[in-house]
């Protein structure tokens, strides 16, 4: 059995975005209800559009609430899974890692645009630009976000020692 040095489960918890979505949906429901009362419960193009927008916002809210990131560092490599995007765990064995570095970014820095990259990095994070940047032997780049940066750093160092 492979030894796990680090394990973390994250979920989307940006209350501001969830609040804005819920407020927008409530406002849309209120407007839709009033419009339907004025038109004697017959649907016009505006009501159908509002209903469609309500379904889109509801789907987006469902997606954000169900968004999860599982990250584990083992003696064999790094495993991650972002639900509902991935159906199976993705694994990066240590022998495929060309380089890895811990990236720490201040909280406010994620809003100024400095974290925008134009390379082909695949980013899996729910907590900004704090985490592990990995470059594989075949040139692929991954960024795996974490809330426990120090524990991840210690786990990677332990795993690389072996």
Please report the pLDDT score of residue 108 as a whole number: 67
Sign (positive/negative) of CA torsion 132, 137, 141, 142? negative
**CATH class of the domain whose range is 4-9+71-161:** mainly beta
Our CA dihedral for 135, 63, 65, 73, rounded to 10 degrees, sits at -20
Strand partners, 78: 73, 92
The answer for residues whose C-beta is within 8 angstroms of residue 159's C-beta and 6 or more apart is 5, 73, 74, 75, 94
What angle do helix axes 15-38 and 45-65 make, rounded to 10 degrees?
160
Please report the pLDDT score of residue 118 as a whole number: 56
Q: What are the extents of the domains in the chain?
A: 4-9+71-161, 15-65
Q: How would you write the pLDDT of the chain (162 residues) with one tens digit per residue? A: 478 899 999 999 889 999 999 999 999 999 888 888 887 777 788 888 889 999 999 999 999 999 999 999 999 999 999 998 888 999 999 999 999 999 888 766 666 665 566 567 888 888 878 899 999 999 899 999 999 999 999 999 988 887
């Amino acid at each position: 059995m492979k030894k796990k040095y680090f394990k973390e489960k994250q979920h989307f918890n940006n209350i501001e975005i969830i609040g804005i979505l819920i407020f927008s949906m409530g406002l849309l429901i209120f407007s839709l209800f009033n419009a339907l009362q004025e038109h004697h419960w017959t649907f016009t193009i505006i009501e159908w559009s509002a209903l469609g927008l309500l379904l889109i916002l509801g789907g987006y809210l469902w997606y954000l609430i169900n968004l999860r990131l599982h990250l584990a560092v083992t003696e064999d490599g790094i495993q991650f899974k972002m639900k509902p995007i991935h159906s199976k765990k993705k694994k990066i064995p240590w022998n495929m890692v060309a380089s890895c570095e811990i990236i720490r970014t201040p909280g406010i820095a994620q809003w100024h645009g400095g974290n925008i990259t134009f390379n082909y990095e695949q980013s899996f994070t729910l907590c900004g630009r704090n985490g592990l940047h990995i470059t594989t032997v075949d040139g692929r780049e991954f960024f795996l976000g974490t809330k426990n940066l120090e524990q991840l750093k210690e786990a990677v160092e332990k795993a690389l020692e072996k």
